[in-house]
Structure 1
Amino acid sequence: MAEQTNYTEDNIRSLDWKEHIRMRPGMYIGKLGDGSSPDDGIYILIKEVIDNSIDEFVMGAGKQIKISIIGEKVIVRDYGRGIPLGKVVDVVSKMNTGGKYDSKAFKKSVGLNGVGTKAVNALSSYFRVESTRDGKSASAEFEKGELTNQENLDDTSRRKGTKVSFVPDDSIFKKYKYRSEYVVKMLKNYVYLNPGLTILFNGEKYFSEHGLKDLLQDNMNESDMLYPIIHLRGDDIEVAITHSKTQYSEEYHSFVNGQNTTQGGTHLAAFREAVVKTIREYFGKNYDASDIRKSIVSAIAIKVMEPVFESQTKTKLGSTDMGGDLPTVRTYINDFVKTNLDNFLHKNPEIADKVQRKILQAERERKELSGIRKLAKERAKKASLHNKKLRDCRVHFGDTKNERNLESTLFITEGDSASGSITKSRDVNTQAVFSLKGKPLNSYGLSKKIVYENEEFNLLQAALNIEESLEDLRYNNIVIATDADVDGMHIRLLLITFFLQFFPEVIKEGHLYILQTPLFRVRNKKETIYCYSEEERVKAIEKLKPKPEITRFKGLGEISPDEFKHFIGPDIRLDPVMLDRETSIEEMLSFYMGKNTPTRQEFIIENLKVELDVVEDL
């Protein structure tokens, strides 16, 4: 019989605040990541610091925030009231200390209930906070949450406010890199939600005069708008609505107390319902909800007292009440939209007419599709019972109560050999695999009918669960994993075309990636180095000289499952697929995927880069 382990007081230990944050960072900032995804931890750290500066602006203190990122170091400076000097250390290093507990001062605040900067402090190899007020200044420096230096100045000419500098700890955030595109998107959202605020980031200025109206204008090409943006504002609510001429699906930008709720929640569900109800009542017709919302592009921001979110990173609102004496979130949004959208449509009959024509067009298309959609769903149902294309995982994006939901990933691979390697080496909890037969169809210029007629597209759409909207998207990361050869590049292009044509919001919301896999393996008897570029290969040869063995990987199928687990594990390298806001999707697709062959040939010849395989004489 096995010896019993004594369970005594000695087995129990309390972690101090920084140990707990460092041991379980996911509880505080979601996933770690390396900066290739907009919800990676390094961006949450920036957000937590900026949130405090935003709260100052909301309270009427300081109209400008300066942010700079130099390499790995982030500096955030506001011109608010400054942290009370005697509390500078406590505010960033003692749990349950912060202004957020006084609900009168921060009735509808953004930040993380006084946990935010403490999490940043604990997860940074260097953290410095400096506060200036009343001509005096106090500062403190920390390393991994431990206080290393403290200074007080009784006389300073510095402007009042708070300055926070930090460097994320690379023992926790491995091989990370800030992508300015993600930071800029976050900062733009802050200015849209706080008209009158100026944010300076690495010398660039961001400012919004018209709030959510500016958000839609900056995210859409004007030529794609069916009608000018409907912009409605109330005490604790702001809404902007238009319809796209070309986009099939619904697109929403939703916010609660300044937080971008990328996974929606009770407020977004209420808004979608309210738009349908109001339009039905205005036209006196029981239009199908999907026809009313088809191609809608809109944004909603509400302010709620003491909101309840479904995850620590606040991506989905769970609250049903607005707080105080106000009604439920659903009633509040329904009443606001009903009154204001109805009034707007009565005052602007030409816009109402365009909305109705769009609904009728959607209805015709839906009816044309209904037969084929029914067949496709039956086919997908049969296939999913023995669907060899999809090898699913256990945790999905919608499981907001599971702290690994942000890691949920679907790899789209070509052929059985590549999908076989990934399937054997993946993490079955968070990584799923969808296998393509060969090259998918070029879907440019085709109607949505093709998504149902083409078995692979239909099964992919069903696997992602995005037929109606992104609301029930099953995977946070959709990763195209193809060989790094001409055929692999072509498959990537065809898949990106599919998403751009039918589900562009998958790309707009930062869910689509390309998997980087190594081009070379350089090894000797003691060490193996995987190289993703010619430059890395040269360095590896230099390091492992005199005569290392060099292997050139031609395709994913050549990489054994044992090796593959390194490339899709904690050190996974992903390239995000991003849209240039200046170019319309229609123009881009017609150039790259249309029938303008001579023009495209000319472009390819002018921009061609030839890379030669260098064979070492070893």
Structure 2
Amino acid sequence: MEVKYTEENIRSLDWREHIRMRPGMYIGKLGSGSSPDDGIYVLVKEVIDNCIDEYMMGHGTKIEVTISDEKVIVRDYGRGIPLGKVVDCVAKINTGGKYDSKAFQKSVGLNGVGTKAVNALSSYFCVRSIRDGKEKMAEFHRGQLISDPPKTKTTEANGTQITFIPDNEIFKNFRFIPEHLDGLLWNYAYLNAGLSILFNGEKYHSKKGLFDLLTKKTEVETHRYPIIHLQGDDIEIAMTHGSHYGEQYYTFVNGQYTTQGGTHLSAFREALLKTVRDFYKKDFDPSDVRQAITAAVSIRVQDPVFESQTKTKLGSLTIAPKGASIRVFVNDFLKKRLDDYLHKNKETADSLLKRIMQSERERKEMAGIRKLANQRAKKANLHNKKLRDCKVHLNNRRGDRRYDTTIFITEGDSASGSITKARDIQTQAVFSLRGKPLNCYNLTKKIVYQNEEFNLLQHALNIEESIEDLRYNNVVIATDADVDGMHIRLLILTFFLQFFPELVRNGHLYILQTPLFRVRNKKQTIYCYSESEKQQALKKLGKQSEITRFKGLGEISPNEFSRFIGEDMRLEPVILNHNTPVDKTLDYYMGKNTPNRQRFIIDNLKVEKDVANV
């Protein structure tokens, strides 16, 4: 039957309706809070960005952030929103001070949308502005004004306070993970040396900016040379080389953490190669210069252009208003400052050269192995039974659903079979392991190519060269809830931490939580993920209820499994925070069988045994 297209089909949405109907346009993916780029953290960021802009303009050196349960309170000590425009600034689209370049220079929030999005996507939103002894507040529900009292007198210091509760109709089953908030706030501190952020009473403060960032994010004893820290007008760079695999970057624009890089990162990588080649007068291979580098790059530009509202990738080509190319700007800075530094610090120059030569030797040694392995992988991919692929991929760069793309790494035919039958074939893929993978701790990257499963896995993920072309946003380890499952989980974690730590650092790796018990009576069924949840279910359904213990993923039918990998999927993120030493952590869990590790395993196996016997 033909559907008629008439005037009745045309709708006009106000700003609140549009944001709530299409939240992805404003804050990226929604998520549950398990990923650092989930929507609830974008809401927090949008509010703090405004505080940072005040600090950058020289107003207020302290920001207070309080997050308890679902409520977020952010208070700055800047100038405060002009009292007559308090409601307009948070509830009238395309209204704000960021459009006036005299009031805000090189700001993060430039489009007048951020705080309005927070307002529209919150079940409760309150704004308070304090200026020169007077206060104005307003309260909202899902963007609708519900309270607009007149101005009052106050003795509080100038500034703005925003309070909001994310709407659980939009953000279902969400929770704030402290480690994600910790990383977010530390980045603000590193990018704004001298600023103090108080988060639930804990102080975040940096004196040396990006130097402090690299000191916290890396293990100093693995550095091949002391951190090179270069600062100039509108640009700051810190870099060193280590012993890890791949390249690791932290890039920022106007204080915004651009997790997907952009033109400034491309400019840095290009400028570094050119400067190093010119300094040593050798035509090094680009991969040899960049192998094992860790660098932080921050630039400030006027009117930055990002590729999305979430500002994770810079698209600007020029530094407005001068019109200078970002590529030329970064290259000129690095060419002068890094070249000067290497001339003045001979030991560092020698150490950098040794690291480059080592990378060159390793690359040439692996060339033959890599070629054969890639030929085998290409042949296997034509009929690869290990990978049941999906149709949408993260590196397609188009469509909202690419952020939902997930690959489940599981073991055994029964487990992978259940997930395969229950999955969403548009966005969910399954990679099936054959038994326990190899313990690759302390092995070189040769093993990734020599071991067929590891090689096929890196090809499935498309991370051989870098994670920039990663095919799935969520890489999920799905193993049984028993001793063997825990061991397999550790072995897969070791593989990623040893050879692809940036995949973990960028928040792509998760552990799938599946129910341990099913409790049901004739009227209702409750799935329980812990012993305490089981006891609560028995209280609700009665002690005579039927209890089923799931010992393996294969015991859960595909019909049941679909609800555990759908909207309500529980994912536990694998988080590397700033003080997690990768080498020491791997040595503890996967190295020699020390008394400390034996005690850890014994203690944890007791818990597992107790659960298994319930």
How does the TM-score come out when normalised to structure 1? 0.96
| Deviation larger for 539-548 or 284-293 | 539-548
The aligned residue for residue 61 of structure 2 is 63
Secondary structure at the aligned position of 1:612 is classed as helix
The aligned residue for residue 374 of structure 1 is 371
State the distance in 1 between where 2:335 and 2:384 align. 44
Q: Structure 1 residue aligned with 2:104, among 106, 121, 144?
A: 106
Alignment of 1:117-196 (within 5 A): 117-196=115-194
Residue 598 of structure 1: CA displacement?
4.7
Alignment of 1:458-497 (within 5 A): 458-497=455-494
Q: Specify whether residues 607 and 424 from structure 1 end up closer, same or farther in structure 2 by C-alpha distance, changes over 3 A only.
A: closer
Residue deviations 1:390-445, cap 9 Å, x none?
Answer: 22223333344422332222211111221222222222222221111111000011
The aligned residue for residue 452 of structure 1 is 449
Is structure 2 residue 391 aligned with structure 1 residue 394? yes
State the distance in 1 between where 2:332 and 2:405 align. 37
State the distance in 1 between where 2:577 and 2:82 align. 43
Q: Specify whether residues 485 and 35 from structure 1 end up closer, same or farther in structure 2 by C-alpha distance, changes over 3 A only.
A: same
The aligned residue for residue 305 of structure 2 is 308
| Deviation larger for 525-534 or 80-89 | 525-534
State the distance in 1 between where 2:237 and 2:543 align. 65
Is structure 2 residue 400 aligned with structure 1 residue 403? yes
State the distance in 2 between where 1:520 and 1:505 align. 35
Q: Specify whether residues 385 and 254 from structure 1 end up closer, same or farther in structure 2 by C-alpha distance, changes over 3 A only.
A: same
Secondary structure at the aligned position of 1:299 is classed as strand
Q: Structure 1 residue aligned with 2:319, among 313, 319, 322?
A: 322
State the distance in 1 between where 2:82 and 2:546 align. 61
State the distance in 2 between where 1:134 and 1:221 align. 47
Equivalenced residues, count: 613
State the distance in 1 between where 2:596 and 2:68 align. 40
State the distance in 2 between where 1:558 and 1:606 align. 27
Letter in 2 for 1:202: N
Residue deviations 1:52-100, cap 9 Å, x none?
Answer: 1111111111111000001111000001111111111111111111112
**Runs (5+) with no aligned partner, structure 2:** none
Contact 1:218/1:581, CA 8 A, preserved across alignment: yes
| Deviation larger for 420-429 or 568-577 | 420-429
Contact 1:310/1:401, CA 8 A, preserved across alignment: no
State the distance in 1 between where 2:603 and 2:435 align. 30
Letter in 2 for 1:493: L
Contact 1:79/1:162, CA 8 A, preserved across alignment: yes
Contact 1:131/1:162, CA 8 A, preserved across alignment: yes
Secondary structure at the aligned position of 1:151 is classed as coil
Q: Structure 2 residue aligned with 1:332, among 308, 312, 329?
A: 329
Q: Structure 2 residue aligned with 1:251, among 248, 252, 255?
A: 248
Is structure 2 residue 590 aligned with structure 1 residue 593? yes
The aligned residue for residue 14 of structure 1 is 12
State the distance in 2 between where 1:199 and 1:580 align. 18
Alignment of 1:276-315 (within 5 A): 276-315=273-312
The aligned residue for residue 228 of structure 2 is 230
Residue 460 of structure 1: CA displacement?
1.1
State the distance in 1 between where 2:196 and 2:577 align. 23
| Deviation larger for 372-381 or 413-422 | 413-422
Residue deviations 1:518-556, cap 9 Å, x none?
Answer: 111122233221111111111112222263222111111
Q: Specify whether residues 105 and 398 from structure 1 end up closer, same or farther in structure 2 by C-alpha distance, changes over 3 A only.
A: farther
Q: Structure 1 residue aligned with 2:212, among 201, 211, 214?
A: 214
The aligned residue for residue 559 of structure 1 is 556
Residue deviations 1:25-61, cap 9 Å, x none?
Answer: 1111111111111011111110010011111111111
Secondary structure at the aligned position of 1:152 is classed as coil
Letter in 2 for 1:214: D
State the distance in 2 between where 1:438 and 1:225 align. 37
Secondary structure at the aligned position of 2:395 is classed as coil
Residue deviations 1:162-220, cap 9 Å, x none?
Answer: 00001111121111111111111101111111111110000001111111111100111
Contact 2:27/2:39, CA 8 A, preserved across alignment: yes
Residue deviations 1:113-154, cap 9 Å, x none?
Answer: 111111111111111000010211100011111111112334
Q: Specify whether residues 509 and 552 from structure 1 end up closer, same or farther in structure 2 by C-alpha distance, changes over 3 A only.
A: same
State the distance in 2 between where 1:7 and 1:474 align. 38
State the distance in 2 between where 1:504 and 1:347 align. 33
CA RMSD of aligned residues (A): 1.7
Contact 2:64/2:199, CA 8 A, preserved across alignment: yes
The aligned residue for residue 83 of structure 1 is 81
State the distance in 2 between where 1:175 and 1:211 align. 36
State the distance in 2 between where 1:522 and 1:424 align. 23
